[in-house]
Amino acid sequence: MFDPQRGFVDPLLAWHERHGRHDLPWREPDRTPFEILLAEVLLQRTTAEAVAGAYRPFAARYPTPGTIAAAPTEEIEALVAPLGLVKRAAYLRRCASEILAWNSGDVPREHSELVNLHGVGEYTARSVLIHVTGLGIAAVDTNVKRLLSRFFGVTADRDRIAVLADALAPSTRSGDFQHAMLDFAAEVCTAGSPACSSCPVREPCASSEG
């Protein structure tokens, strides 16, 4: 009987300790909940490498909801422009205003409140919960969907994958596990030409190329 803890979760955590992208600026331990939320929005459909080059000035200029809510939209747009999806500038400004108006400037810690923020959907809300509160759940993005679909040999929509991902997520270290899945999918279990020959979970993987 396959044990997902020993056969998947533990190997991914071990891989992450050694090969994870530990230098990404939004993963620095003293990042505030709002700085984490900023990063998650900038990362929507955008490579971590691209966001890494734009994040520090962005977070430095808008460290709080108040600072970005008071900024001209065109100024925010200029900082988002190199990343594409420039509408996120307006989303962020409106989101910051909502956090000010509805929660006194504190990033909500409840899923139901997070998903009501403009520009915050299921993935971003879960990411904030994982990295801010340490809640033992997972967030399904394109990387996690691909990784779990391949490894478990299932063709399922995001909601079905999310049930599986939540079941795998450890009750502690859920942030490390989330990062492990993201980094592993981005560097080994890639969309095109996955590096199966050097994959630490090749043997149990349903889609292994041998």
Partner DNA sequence: AAGACGGGGAT
Partner DNA sequence: ATCCCAGTCTT
Give the residue numbers annotated as catalytic, written as ranges: 40, 123, 141
Site for DNA in 148-177 (CB under 7 A): none
Say whether residue 57 binds DNA (CB under 7 A). no
- Per-residue b or e along 146-167, where b marks 16 or more CB atoms closer than 10 Å to that residue's CB: bbbbbbbeeeeeeeebbebbee
Which part of the chain contacts DNA (CB under 7 A), choosing from 6-14, 21-29, 57-65, 102-110?
Answer: 21-29
* Residue selected from 16, 59, 79, 127 as contacting DNA according to rule CB under 7 A: 127
Q: How far is the CB of 38 from DNA (least distance, A)?
A: 11
Min separation Cβ 2 and DNA, Å: 25
x/- string (CB under 7 A) for DNA, residues 87-106?
xx--x---------------
The CA-based dihedral angle spanning residues 135, 137, 140, 145, taken in that order and rounded to the nearest 10 degrees = 150
| Contact with DNA (CB under 7 A) among 57, 82, 134, 153 | 82
R_g of the chain, CA atoms, integer Å: 18
Contact between 197 and DNA (CB under 7 A)? Answer: no
DSSP state of 106: P
In whole angstroms, how close is the CB of 4 to DNA at the nearest point? 22
DSSP 82: G
Interface stretch with DNA, choices 6-14, 56-64, 75-83, 198-206 (CB under 7 A): 75-83
For residue 162, the minimal CB distance to DNA (Å) is 11
For residues 19-38, b (16+ Cβ closer than 10 Å) or e, as one string?
A: ebeeebbbbeeebebbbbbb
Centre a 10 Å sphere on the Cβ of residue 111 and count the other Cβ atoms it contains.
15
**Residue 96 CB neighbour total at 10 angstroms:** 27
Cα separation of 35 and 157, whole Å? 30
Binding residues (CB under 7 A) for DNA: these are 21, 24, 26-27, 39-40, 43-50, 81-88, 91, 117-125, 127, 141-143, 146, 179, 182-183, 185-186, 191-193
